[in-house]
Every structure is written in C-alpha cells, then in structure tokens.
Amino acid sequence: MDSNATVLRRRLTDDEIVLAPGVSDALEGVLAERAGAEILYVSGNAVASSVHGGPDLGLTTMTETVDRVRQIAGAVDRPVLADADDGYGNALSVRRTVQEFERAGAAGVHVEDQDAPKQCGHFDDKSLVPIEEMCGKLRAACDARANDAFVVVARTDAVAVEGIDAAIDRSRAYVDAGADAVFVDAPETEAHLERIGDELADVPLVVNVPYGGKTPMLPADRLAELGYDCMLFATTAQKAKIELLADVYEHLVETGDERDLTDRVATWETRDEVTGLDRWRDLEQRYG
C-alpha cells in the first residue's frame, strides 16, 4: 500500500487538480474525510486561531502546529499537507521542523520565504529573506525527510513585496534547490495567476484563493485550465464555524433555550456516528 506521502506526490502530478480543504483539528479532519476530500490541508492561519485565539502573526510555535498535525493525521486515512510557516528559524531549524512534521504523520509541508516575524500571506507589510537563505532552508528540508516521497513545497510571498517577476524568479531558484512544488501566495490578479501557470508550467503548483484575501476567487476548473495542480481552501471551514458558533453562543446567552437551534445543530446520533462510537463500543466489548 502506498504511503500517504506517495499519494500526495502522485496527486500533485496528476492531470486533474486536487482539492484540499483546510482543517484545524481532528474533528474537522474527520468531517472533511467523510465528505470525500482526497487531501487535507493544515493551515497555519487556522491553527493559530484555533490554538491561541489570535491572528496569524508568527505567534504559534512549531510544537503547537506539530501537535495539531499529529492529532489530525491520527484521526484520518488521508494525506495531510501542513503549513510549516517559515520553518521556525534558520536552515537547521527547518531540518528539525521537517523531521517533526514527518514523524507526526504529515505527507508534506510548505515552507515560506518570509522573514521573521512571519504573518499571514494575505496581510500587508511582509518582508522576505534573501533567496540564498531560502534555498538553504529548502536543501535542509529535503535532506531531513526520512521518506523520499515526503513532499517539500516552497512558498513565496514575493508578489506583494518584490512583484510578480521576482516571485517567478524565486520559484525557479527554489525548484533548483530541491522543492517538489511551488506555492506562490497572494497573487493579486487573474493575469498574475495566468502568468504563474504559464511560466511555471513544468512545476507542480499549489494555489490558495481565500474569501476576503488578495487573490481573485476563481473556481477549481478555471485554475486547472491555468495550470494549477492543488487548490487549498485554507480557512473556509473555520470561517464558517466562526459565523455559526457566534450565532449559537449569542442565542444561548440571550435566551437560555437551545430548542430553537435544533435545526442548525447535529443530532446526538450524528455526532456519535461521526466520532465512531459503535466501533469503539465493539472494541470495548472485545477487550472487556
């Protein structure tokens, strides 16, 4: 049976674009898997919001993200692509980061070229490390993996800082340094997306087009036409959860009555099915 890393690598090079919903905890991972997702994406932004309730401003530690990846990968049977931020330090830090993510069950990671303190790719006022430094990080990432199939994606945030030309030049350098795929974050126009797809057509391409972000919201079929291989929905589910939970908590606090919410929440039986209660009961009987 192929490893999850092998499956992820193969899907990045298939003819059809693969869709990767974002998950920030094990329950979201289970739900995404049940919905038929082939690849799960662990977004640093979503993990930051979930772990410490704050923004994606480099506040989350490597250990906190790895813990989430371990929990998610342990709850599903799907490849997990994880956001490893800037690798949490220099090239030596990146080496350890990749080892920890791989041990936690990730099938691949992306490492970005932002300078510390890093932040969400769709925020303003970012800065970048020199190309040579990022290339060293990518070589360290590739050397660190125990399974050669483990996928190392190079993310560049250069579009907003240095422009589209620099983003493409950096992407080329990162592939030469060993990256298996490229993720040009926050392209600002459809023309940017088209140019990236044209000029990096020989490289597996990852793209994220979040609602409210800087990138035009194009559907998967159009992105596939432009040459993209993996479409992330990094924080879509979490943003939906924010809206729903805000309404639910407000209603509970104001009314003290959950009866009007029953058409908006899962039944007791649905929750038990999603969490696999029957399977655990069978194991309980077997061992009891």
- How far apart are the C-alpha atoms of 163 and 189, rounded to whole Å? 12
State pTM to two decimals: 0.95
- Hunting for tokens 């597996």 — which residue is that? 204
Dihedral sign of CA atoms 170, 175, 177, 183 in order: positive
- Structure confidence at residue 288 (pLDDT): 87
- Structure confidence at residue 181 (pLDDT): 98
> pLDDT 10s per residue in the chain (288 long)?
789 999 999 999 999 999 999 999 999 999 999 999 999 999 999 999 999 999 888 889 999 999 999 999 999 999 999 999 999 999 999 999 999 999 999 999 999 999 887 877 676 778 899 999 999 999 999 999 999 999 999 999 999 999 999 999 999 999 999 999 999 999 999 999 999 999 999 999 999 998 888 899 999 999 999 999 999 999 999 999 999 999 999 999 999 999 999 999 999 999 999 999 999 999 999 998
Residues 17, 150, single domain; the answer is yes
Residues 170, 247, single domain; the answer is no
Residues 177, 277, single domain; the answer is no
Secondary structure (H, E, C), the chain? CCCHHHHHHHHHHCCCCEEEEECCCHHHHHHHHHCCCCCEEECHHHHHHHHHCCCCCCCCCHHHHHHHHHHHHHHCCCCEEEECCCCCCCHHHHHHHHHHHHHCCCCEEEEECECCCCCCCCCCCCCECCHHHHHHHHHHHHHHCCCCCCEEEEEECHHHHHCHHHHHHHHHHHHHCCCCEEEECCCCCHHHHHHHHHHCCCCCEEEECCCCCCCCCCCHHHHHHHCCCEEEECCHHHHHHHHHHHHHHHHHHHHCCCHHHCCCCCCHHHHHHHCCHHHHHHHHHHHC
Domain end marker among 199, 216, 235: 235
Considering only CA atoms, which of 154, 137, 48, 151 is closest in space to residue 89?
Answer: 137
Domain end marker among 201, 220, 235: 235
- Structure confidence at residue 172 (pLDDT): 98
Residues 272, 146, single domain; the answer is no
Residues 149, 277, single domain; the answer is no
Residues 77, 135, single domain; the answer is yes
Q: What is the total count of domains within the chain?
A: 2
Residues 271, 248, single domain; the answer is yes
Residues 45, 164, single domain; the answer is yes
Range of the domain at 249: 242-287
CATH number of the structural domain spanning residue 50: 3.20.20.60
Considering only CA atoms, which of 113, 99, 37 is closest in space to residue 69?
Answer: 99
- Structure confidence at residue 226 (pLDDT): 97
CB 118, CB 94: distance < 8 Å: no
- How far apart are the C-alpha atoms of 166 and 132, rounded to whole Å? 14
Residues 274, 164, single domain; the answer is no
Residues 114, 27, single domain; the answer is yes
Residues 130, 265, single domain; the answer is no
- Structure confidence at residue 121 (pLDDT): 63
Domain end marker among 235, 258, 274: 235
CB 210, CB 43: distance < 8 Å: no
Residues 106, 249, single domain; the answer is no
Give the HSE-up count for residue 146: Cα atoms under 13 Å, Cβ half-sphere.
Answer: 12
